[in-house]
Structure 1
Amino acid sequence: MTDTSSHAAHEPAHGADHNPDDQSEILDLDAEVLAEHIASITAWLPVEANPRHIVDLGCGTGAGTLALLRRFPKADVTAVDSSAGHLQRLRHKADAAGLADRVRTVQADLDGAWPELRTPELVWASASMHHMADPDRTLRQVHDTLAPDGLFAVVELAGFPRFLPEDAPADRPGLEERCHAAVDRHHAEHLPHRGADWGSKLTAADFTVEGERTVTVNLGPPHTEAVGRYALTSLTRMRGGVGEELAAEDLAALDLLLDTGSPHSILRREDLTVRTERTVWAARRT
């Protein structure tokens, strides 16, 4: 299911990002913390017959790949990403789960020439479509790659998760929302396809949209240790991307939260939650 420091913290890369390998930790934490929600999306997919071959576009470190392998035990997955580091991490995860023989990894920039992907019955793209330089071209490529009556699942995230209560920290209430506003301004400039209506785009590319679902995530408290690390890593990446746009007082308060040696560290808070949304479109090649 995650960008470099200038983009969203938890989105897989497909080739548009300048340093995708440094995303590995946040992608792994996203997969761990939100595993149940990812599984619920794969369970919802309107699959008419169990697919034998699946393609995961912009697979990151493998959250979607592994969820799909578990959901469809007779399928194999071709996992595509531009990052060699992500793909290596995915292979290690698949090996540890006893699933390595069902995974093929392909390193490719999907804005360029497409690799050979056989003829999948299901294509999955989580948080990767809005990174494409020409997403309409990508939709056409997916349409032509899919088997007849094959399914394309597009999953999009509602930006960074929220972790803090609205009144936190006490000296700078609303800090997290101001950080999100700065990120949104950045995305409006650098990610013009973020927030696109993928339903209408899929229809224009000759798909038939069979379903749309929004999954709301609201976890904790109490929270796990992984949630603390997830919040720390996400906010650290947010600071790296838009810190210069924040007021000096906000930046100082954020730095206190990110200082793991401080009594004010986000790792010491017991009131963290994980709040976000994921929307999935399921579209049939007709």
Structure 2
Amino acid sequence: MTHPSSHTAHDGAHHCSSHEPDADGQAEILDLDAEVLGEHIASITAWLPLEKEPRHIVDLGCGTGAGTFALLTRFPDAEVTAVDTSAGHLQRLRAKAEALGVAERVRTVQADLDAAWPDLGRPELVWASASMHHMADPDRTLGKVHDLLAPGGLFAVVELADFPRFLPADAPQERPGLEERCHAALAHDAAEHVPHRGADWGPKLAAAEFTVEGERTITVNVDGSRSEAVGRYAVSSLRRLRGSAAHALTPEDLGALDQLLDADSPFSLLRRTDVAVRTERTVWAARRV
């Protein structure tokens, strides 16, 4: 889904409101997220405790399609309804579907899920990755998903621990603690603007009359030597973090951060060999009885 404001600099996969001024930059991050973390997304889809393979899946807050295409791969007989508020993200998703030869298995729906819900059919699986915490009223959304699902259907909620970390703690090139100070500034903003990010969805799902059948935390640690996309992912993500955290950083910290983001700097993240993507994602699998 689209991020609801510039305060949420990065959520990784998919998001849910269309007030984002930097849609192209956000789409780039979502595409890189899918490329860098594709193995982890696939491991989540493989883990889902399904009684039978779904034929109809709804991806709530699909972004540019990281979850949509992972689900299409995991379930080759399924069709996916991909829902997002961003017309640009959905257009990008459709172009990818055409290029991959799966366009006939994808339906896109532009909708604001904080308003009236469109007809999304009767799916056996609903997937919401990094989107639930953007809902104005998550409890209302949980109730809507419960009513949407076919009896016995599964709701998979994927939540992010926090903004990914990219730099080693003992890296000599930047000011000590720079990344932690950036994180602290972002967390302060997120607590005000995205209070449900990092929530424990288990009790909320149970309160919405789901039966929680599993919970799993995925540890992400992708070394930059495995993919050159890691450096581009770090630059795009930290550039957006800079926009959200700049007001809380000293000029010295901003200068050090700008060197990391400058492709021509000797300290550029694109030139370094010690960049990695480190974070966690938790998934809850909840059944409508």
TM bucket (normalised to shorter chain) is over 0.9
* Residue matched to 2:8: 7
Amino acid at match of 2:138: P
Runs of 4 or more above 4 Å deviation: none
State whether residues 161 and 279 of structure 2, in contact with CA within 8 Å, keep that contact through their aligned partners in structure 1: yes
State whether residues 15 and 134 of structure 2, in contact with CA within 8 Å, keep that contact through their aligned partners in structure 1: yes
Kindly state the Cα deviation for residue 170 of structure 1 after the two structures are TM-superposed. Answer: 3.0
Quote the Cα distance in structure 2 between the aligned partners of 1:188 and 1:201.
19
State whether residues 7 and 187 of structure 1, in contact with CA within 8 Å, keep that contact through their aligned partners in structure 2: yes
State whether residues 173 and 267 of structure 2, in contact with CA within 8 Å, keep that contact through their aligned partners in structure 1: no
Quote the Cα distance in structure 1 between the aligned partners of 2:244 and 2:17.
18
**SS at 1:73 equivalent:** coil
Quote the Cα distance in structure 2 between the aligned partners of 1:7 and 1:31.
18
State whether residues 78 and 103 of structure 1, in contact with CA within 8 Å, keep that contact through their aligned partners in structure 2: yes
* Residue matched to 1:236: 239
Equivalent in 243, 265, 269 of residue 272 of structure 2 = 269
Quote the Cα distance in structure 2 between the aligned partners of 1:205 and 1:260.
48
Q: Does 1:127 align with 2:130?
A: yes
Distance 1:228 1:119, change over 3 A: same
* Residue matched to 2:20: 18
* Structure 2 gap segments, 5+ residues each: none
Q: Does 1:70 align with 2:70?
A: no
State whether residues 227 and 274 of structure 1, in contact with CA within 8 Å, keep that contact through their aligned partners in structure 2: yes
Quote the Cα distance in structure 1 between the aligned partners of 2:192 and 2:44.
30
Distance 1:260 1:193, change over 3 A: same
Instruction: Give the % identical residues.
Output: 72
**SS at 1:186 equivalent:** helix
Kindly state the Cα deviation for residue 151 of structure 1 after the two structures are TM-superposed. Answer: 0.2
Amino acid at match of 1:51: P
State whether residues 208 and 285 of structure 1, in contact with CA within 8 Å, keep that contact through their aligned partners in structure 2: yes
The Cα offsets for residues 13-65 of structure 1, whole Å up to 9 and x where unpaired, read as: 21264336231000000000000000000000001011110000000000000
TM-score of the superposed pair, with normalisation by structure 1:
0.96
Q: In terms of mean alpha carbon deviation, does 215-224 or 103-112 score higher?
A: 215-224
* Residue matched to 1:115: 118
Quote the Cα distance in structure 1 between the aligned partners of 2:90 and 2:189.
28
Quote the Cα distance in structure 2 between the aligned partners of 1:268 and 1:104.
40
RMSD (CA atoms): 1.4
* Structure 1 gap segments, 5+ residues each: none
Quote the Cα distance in structure 2 between the aligned partners of 1:82 and 1:138.
15
Kindly state the Cα deviation for residue 70 of structure 1 after the two structures are TM-superposed. Answer: 0.6
Amino acid at match of 2:185: A
**SS at 1:265 equivalent:** coil
Q: How many residues align?
A: 286
Quote the Cα distance in structure 1 between the aligned partners of 2:159 and 2:249.
26
